[in-house]
Amino acid sequence: MTQIHQYQDDEHVLGADGRFHVADEQVRLDLYGGEDWIAFALFWVLAGVVFYQVFTRYFLGDPAGWTEEIARYLLVATVFIGASMAVRRNNHIQVDAFYRWMPRLLARVLSTVVDGIRVLFFGYAAWLNWLLLEKIGEQRMAIVDLPMGWVFGAMLFGFCLMFVRSLQVTWRHWQQGYSILERPEIALEGGER
């Protein structure tokens, strides 16, 4: 996480002894949600599978056939579960310039509409994913004899997390009376969490 830090007049990087003096910021684990840790774990399992794939292919000369398929599905799970982090932190792609030129009331209304559309989109995507999971969840993977429902289950879990997080972001915007769209400078101050 990048934080903008301005030095005060009494704060010096070089000490009187001419050496470089800095202090690390306190590590704050409370900034991370449950989905952050799940995505982190999935990423490292993915890294292990890819490392094993490279090792068996280039060092042993006998590639493990299952690794490519499992790596692909782990990547899908990592992306969909990890995407809820961006929703929670409200880091999705947005165009701030239009809001600078709009009247304040219009910007507030449009920002609220954007929040509502986001909630509806993730809710609808979760529902569609549920329908897809019901239809093809029992089909088997191509190489590994595991159900495809595991992959679609991870996607459904990710969409449900995104839906819940979008509800939380919408509620936060409603309570504080503005969103990051209306006041993009709050992103530079540490952003939304």
pLDDT of 44 higher than 80:
yes
**Mean pLDDT confidence for 26-41:** 88
In a domain, 156, yes or no: yes
pLDDT digits (tens, 9 = 90+) for 129-171: 999 999 987 888 888 888 888 999 999 999 999 999 999 999 9
In a domain, 167, yes or no: yes
In a domain, 52, yes or no: no
pTM here?
Answer: 0.79
Cα separation of 128 and 179, whole Å? 28
pLDDT averaged over the chain?
A: 86
Helix, strand or coil, per DSSP, at residue 22: coil
For the chain, percent helix, then strand, then coil, each to nearest 5?
Answer: 65, 0, 35
In a domain, 36, yes or no: no
Q: What is the pLDDT of residue 193?
A: 56
**Residue numbers of the domain that contains 177:** 72-188
Element of type H or E holding 72: helix 66-89
Confidence of residue 187 (pLDDT cuts 50, 70, 90): low
In the chain, the number of structural domains is 1
